């Protein structure tokens, strides 16, 4: 069937080893970019990533458990999140994942993301946005 053929093409021709290196390299660039932004703006921002996905936390360290997670600065995160949307960048909706790089992302898109992030974090430093936390499981 066509679904099997599509799966084979995806695994053999699209998600190649080179494609994974591309995604990981761009994700690493985002991680480094966020770390540089935090240092330049003197903002507590913990950055973590694994493979093509990454997270930022408005805190001096990444949370290790849910108790630490719910103590994060979500008002800054809401400011960041809405400003990124305003700039045309759609971060992941959850508080615990901001990006997943795909094989289609380009270096230019990562640069645009980091430019918007710099502005968003600069704004989050001085303006806090109210919001509520609710995760449905």
Q: What angle do CA 121, 125, 131 make, to 5 degrees?
A: 85
In angstroms, the Cα distances linking 68 to 25, 65, 123 are 29, 6, 24
pLDDT at 14: 86
pLDDT at 46: 95
Q: Do the Cβ atoms of 98 and 56 come closer than 8 Å?
A: yes
**pLDDT, the chain, mean:** 90
pLDDT at 95: 60
Q: Do the Cβ atoms of 96 and 69 come closer than 8 Å?
A: yes
The position carrying tokens 């103590």 is: 71
pLDDT at 45: 95
Share of the chain above pLDDT 90, in %: 66
The more confident residue out of 11 and 28 is 28
Distance CA 41, CA 118 (A): 8
1-21 average pLDDT score: 90
In DSSP notation, 27-73 reads HHHHHHHHHHHHHHHT---EEEEETTEEEEESSSS--SSHHHHTTS-
Q: Which domains does the chain have, with CATH numbers?
A: 2-126 (3.90.1150.10)
pLDDT at 13: 86
pLDDT in tens, 42-58: 999 999 999 999 999 99
């Amino acid at each position: 069937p066509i679904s099997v053929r599509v799966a084979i093409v995806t695994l053999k021709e699209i998600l190649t080893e080179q494609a994974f290196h591309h995604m990981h390299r761009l994700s690493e660039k985002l991680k480094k970019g966020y770390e540089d932004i935090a240092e330049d703006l003197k903002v507590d921002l913990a950055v973590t990533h694994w493979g093509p996905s990454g997270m930022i936390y408005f805190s001096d360290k990444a949370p290790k458990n849910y108790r630490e997670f719910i103590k994060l600065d979500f008002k800054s995160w809401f400011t960041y999140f809405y400003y990124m949307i305003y700039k045309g960048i759609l971060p992941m909706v959850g508080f615990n994942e901001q990006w997943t790089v795909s094989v289609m992302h380009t270096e230019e898109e990562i640069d645009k993301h980091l430019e918007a992030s710099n502005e968003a974090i600069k704004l989050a430093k001085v303006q806090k946005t109210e919001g509520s936390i609710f995760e449905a499981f």
